[in-house]
Amino acid sequence: MGLDSVGALAIHEILSKLGPTDTAAAGCLNKKFRDWAADESLWSKFCADELDLSSPQDPLGNPTPTFKVAYQVWREAFGMYPWPLVGRVKRCWGRLKSWLSANFPEALATLRKGASEGEIKSLENSLKVKLPLPTRLLYRFCDGQDMKRDEVTGRILGSSLGLLGGYSFNDHLVNVYLLPLHLVILKTLVIRKTKSTVLQRGFGRNSIFVASSSYRQKAFFFNCENGQLYVGTRNWLAIDGGAIPCVPKELIRLVPDFGSSQQQDAMLLWLEEHGHRLHSGVIRLHEEGKIRGINLFPEKAPQCSIAITNGVKVRASAVLVPEFGNLQDESEKFYFSYSMRMSLLPEGCCIYGMSFASCQLYRRHLIFRANDIVVNDINGEAVIGKFPLLRPGEEEFVYESCTPLSSSSGSVEGCFTFVPGRLADPKGDPFDVELARFPLELPEYIF
């Protein structure tokens, strides 16, 4: 029995299992197979499975007449790369853009269109580097962020719109954005010219500047030779070894495999992890007045602790502040910023069966540990000079500060003393509210 006698549904199933290449070849057999191989439902499936496309469009987002045409255009544009890796990088950017579209459209608007092969080659020639395939593909899909500068002051506008997010404490404000290729070239050349020996000792001549903070000096460098991403510490420009790897070294695989999507460098792993944290709610958008930005303080356990005492809820977490750390200093090797958020549950402050409509903080007692050894015990009035008054339904009171640590692992715990009512008019005896232990530790991925 010839294939011509097999029913159309069976042929459709066979072609869907063969995949796009063999389906296109089957379409050359005769007119009947050409019709079968042109079925839009087949090409819709291929585009969805391999490129995560829900509508027929080209790499620039322009609509195409059919899914088959879309698939052909994508193949022509990215045929020089391992095809499974193309799909993986597209899904990485797709997850980031879908979160931005739903939650942070003003940041989505800063993402540039993908760079051309010519623009990538220009960077490689200018900086005398060779980008690993995953990072080349990342820039082919999106050439960083377009952050405008004020013509008078030179200050970057929309500074809270960084794709990689940030944190604030005291007067220190950080928000990291992904550099477009033309700024990668410019900033890398500037650093090479002013501190030429730094790249030879600490980063190597194969390193390029890829991400930056618009407020304070926080710099990320990508080493094109080993595929690792580094973030600079306080002394990265002065002392050898002043940078921290951002991704576990053992996960990086640079050997090309054109039949696999598993080739990965730190840039791809870093952005995939960032997308995962955003979608899972580990990190969220923070709004203060009219300013919105991605906040890197973790919102979920185990990095974030939550405790409720007598109706008072305290959430706390910390982030590494690499730009403050000094890897050559035994007492201030690492710096961590911590955020403590306090609120009163809807039922109010409940003590011995009595409910109060407010309570006010009086004292704090914080215990800092490094490798389980107490290194600081703070006991005093207020927090950052404030005595927050909590009421049901109001926004959390948030305060942030920072602390040095001699080791890469530690913790904070303690309690806050509140009075029911107000300090000026207490309705009962003071009571302690638990601050559950939360970690201060060098994370697996550093942002």
pLDDT, one tens digit per residue, over 398-434 is 999 999 999 999 999 999 999 999 999 999 999 999 9
- Give me the pLDDT at residue 31, please: 67
- Give me the pLDDT at residue 158, please: 61
Compute CA distances 325 → 115, 128, 403, whole Å.
35, 31, 10
- Backbone dihedral angles phi then psi of residue 127, each to the nearest 5 degrees: -100, -5
Model confidence at 120, pLDDT cuts 50, 70, 90, reads very high
Task: Enumerate the β-bridge partners of residue 353.
Answer: none
**How much is the average pLDDT of 425-447?**
97
Cα gap 400→332, rounded to integer Å = 19
| pLDDT over 90 at 367, yes or no | yes
Query: What pTM did the predictor assign?
Result: 0.91
Q: How many CB atoms lie within 10 A of CB 262?
A: 12
149-163, 186-200, 390-404 — most confident range: 390-404
Q: What is the pLDDT of residues 12-63, one digit of tens each?
A: 566 666 667 766 666 565 666 666 666 787 888 888 888 999 999 999 889 9
- Give me the pLDDT at residue 55, please: 94
Q: What is the pLDDT of residues 90-111, one digit of tens each?
A: 999 999 999 999 999 999 999 9
**How much is the average pLDDT of 119-144?**
98
| pLDDT over 80 at 243, yes or no | yes
**How much is the average pLDDT of 217-230?**
94
Model confidence at 1, pLDDT cuts 50, 70, 90, reads very low
Model confidence at 194, pLDDT cuts 50, 70, 90, reads confident
- Give me the pLDDT at residue 164, please: 97
| pLDDT over 80 at 3, yes or no | no
Q: Is 275 left (phi over 0), alpha (psi -120 to 50) or beta?
A: alpha
Cα gap 314→27, rounded to integer Å = 64
Residues contacting 24, CB < 8 A, separation 6+: 37
- Give me the pLDDT at residue 401, please: 95
Contact 127, 189 (CB under 8 A): yes
Contact 442, 409 (CB under 8 A): yes
Q: What is the pLDDT of residues 247-277, one digit of tens each?
A: 999 999 998 766 677 899 999 999 999 999 9
| pLDDT over 50 at 152, yes or no | no
Q: What is the pLDDT of residues 271-311, one digit of tens each?
A: 999 999 999 999 999 988 788 999 999 999 999 999 999 99
**How much is the average pLDDT of 124-128?**
97
Contact 328, 302 (CB under 8 A): no
Nearest to 295 by CA among 97, 107, 92, 146: 107
| pLDDT over 90 at 443, yes or no | yes
**How much is the average pLDDT of 199-227?**
82
* For helices 266-280 and 133-141, angle between their N-to-C axes, nearest 10 degrees: 50
Model confidence at 150, pLDDT cuts 50, 70, 90, reads low
- Give me the pLDDT at residue 151, please: 46
| pLDDT over 70 at 143, yes or no | yes
**How much is the average pLDDT of 374-399?**
96
What six digits make up the tokens of 265? Answer: 């460098």
- Look at 65-69, 255-259, 260-264, 359-363 and tell me which has the smallest mean pLDDT: 255-259
